[in-house]
Amino acid sequence: MKIKNKYKILIYIIIGLALAIRLAYIIKMPYTEKQHDVEPNGNGLSYIFTIYETGHLPEDNIGQHYHPPLHQIICAMFLKIISIFNTDVNFMCESLQFVTLIYSMALVFIIYKILQELYIKEKYKILAMIVAAFHPTLIILSGSLNNDCLCLTLTIWTILRLIKWYKNDNIKNTILLAIITGLCVMAKTSGAIVAIPIMYIFLLKLYRKVKKSENKVLVIKKYMYLFIFFGCISLSIGLWYPIRNYIEFGQPILYVMDPHNSDLYVGNYTLWQRFLPFSSEINQMYCDPWNQYNIPIFLLKCSLFGEYSWNTNGAFENLYVVSILANIYLIIQTIYCIISQMMNKTKRNKQWKIAFLLLFIFNIFSYITMNIKLPYGCTMDFRYIASTVFTGTMFVIFEMQSIKQTKIIYYLITTLTVIMCLSTDTILLLSQV
């Protein structure tokens, strides 16, 4: 019990440090810096302020930046509260970073709840919580005013509700799962990818119930009604916006905006050049969406530093190298763990391994598809596949729990994770704006 309490105290410390480092980042980083889609006076912020000032959505889909409005509505409601105390526009815009901070901290707690629901051993929870608390992508998203952090948080929250539903498929859990799923799509259209693991778990549950039941017809009817009930709620919440835009503006349901920006266009490079995982671009510190085109190298760097160049004046070159090398090892280790676990015949958490794999694969697939259809520097950003941080970490933990001699490997992975996070976070916090 004492050992267990020590782990709990350590987790509380990690959560406290997660809050501290996010606060430090958003205090240091002005809302005008390191942003996507919400540049000062750009569509993103005008979207929020239109809702704040008028109480309704912009009158055209361009003013809506082609994004569902959940994040913007939340921000507008937050501004209503802030305006009671201060109506200065710069202050109000700066304060919006606390909204994404709340999303980011909620994500940390949700990941911890998932670890509890899957009965992960205490020491392995520590590794997952270190990733949740300190992974640089999650730090950057905590101060990003767009909808990526909300979509990621709701995606992982949907997974938590799915686990709870699998354990107890009553009406309450079905409604909660449906609501969170719908909100995930309402946050960002790409959130619909969470439907893949949901569909798998639903069908698996139906199969196992039918297999055990003597009255198979009754069981099938029960779950078909339950699935239809789930669909009615989730689709009503998630699809009203694209259906509205189709009716109002003739915009396709699955519309994705083409930036039509020649400065960011990389379609003149071959797919071989863009997807070959070896490129001289690794020698260039940080990311440059205007001049870089190689996706694996861009992802490698972007997962640590975002789609930005950081003004370090050469002071952190060694830390940069350390971060990159540690990241390479952890990526290779993660891929190995995924392959190992899918070949492992152990039944423990088997359904969740498959569910996480489906989320992982389809997230990567949609990302690759987007980069082929929309070959721009901006579409290479790691934020589009940020959920792989969670799914990849879970496979590493599953692997650690399934092999006997894990102490050396566990401490190696944990140490390198800490080194990667601390090295990168130091650059994020100490570099000049």
Residue pLDDT tens, the chain, 433 long: 566 688 889 999 999 999 999 999 999 999 988 888 776 455 568 889 989 999 988 877 766 667 899 999 999 999 999 999 998 988 999 999 999 999 999 999 999 999 999 999 998 999 999 999 999 999 999 999 999 999 999 999 999 999 999 999 999 999 999 999 999 999 999 999 999 999 999 999 999 999 988 888 999 999 999 999 999 999 999 999 989 888 888 888 777 777 676 788 998 999 999 998 877 788 888 999 998 999 999 999 999 999 988 888 777 888 999 999 999 999 999 999 999 999 987 778 899 999 999 999 999 999 999 999 999 998 999 999 999 999 999 999 999 988 776 778 888 999 999 999 999 999 999 987 6
CA atoms within 13 A on the CB side of 199: 7
Global pTM value:
0.94
What is the predicted pLDDT for the residue at 3? 63
What is the predicted pLDDT for the residue at 254? 76
What is the predicted pLDDT for the residue at 2? 64
Cα–Cα distance between 230 and 171 in angstroms, integer? 9
Q: What are phi and psi of 45, to 5 degrees?
A: -70, -35
Residues 431, 310 contacting (CB under 8 angstroms)? yes
303 burial type by CB count under 10 A (0-12 exposed, 13-18 middle, 19+ buried):
buried
CB neighbours (10 Å) of residue 24? 14
What sign for the dihedral angle of Cα 43, 46, 52, 58?
negative
- The residue among 57, 34, 223, 269 whose CA lies nearest residue 139 is 34
What is the predicted pLDDT for the residue at 237? 96
Q: Helix H segments across 168-294?
A: 171-187, 195-212, 216-249, 271-275
What is the predicted pLDDT for the residue at 379? 92
Could you give the 3-state DSSP secondary structure of residue 102?
helix
* Longest CA–CA separation in the chain, Å: 72
Close Cβ partners of 374 (under 8 Å, ≥ 6 residues apart): 256, 258, 259
Could you report how far apart the first and last alpha carbons of the chain are, in Å?
46
Residue 263 amino acid letter? D
Domain boundaries, the chain: 147-255
Could you give the 3-state DSSP secondary structure of residue 420?
helix
